[in-house]
Amino acid sequence: MLSMIFADGFGLAQLGAALGAAIAAIGAGIGIGRIGSSAMEAIARQPESAGDIRSNMIVIAALIEGVALFAVIVSALALFIK
């Protein structure tokens, strides 16, 4: 049965692309959550530097989102490149 589904390998490519995109999204969510948590702790310890901490947090979160988007695009391209 499985040999019929994965006969040309396209089914495995779809599975791999879905897993790659899922891992990238989960990793980005965990990373942004940890950044937010650390930033809130830092702001609680030094409220006077809240603006600097917040701006750095936003820049780092944007970089993580960029890497996650890149990983999802690569996973999608894996479907079309043989």
Instruction: For 29-65, write each residue's pLDDT tens digit.
Output: 999 999 999 999 999 999 999 999 999 999 999 999 9
Q: How far apart are CA 5 and CA 23, in angstroms?
A: 24
Asked if 20 and 71 touch (Cβ cutoff 8 Å), the reply is yes
Q: What is the pLDDT of residue 9?
A: 62
Is pLDDT at 2 greater than 80 in this prediction?
Answer: no
pTM of this structure: 0.76
Q: Which run of H or E residues covers position 26? A: helix 10-45
What is the 8-class DSSP label of residue 47?
A: G
> What is the Cα gyration radius of the chain?
19
How far is C-alpha 44 from the geometric centre of its chain's CA atoms? 27
Helix, coil or strand: residue 7: coil
pLDDT tens-place string over residues 5-15 = 555 666 777 88
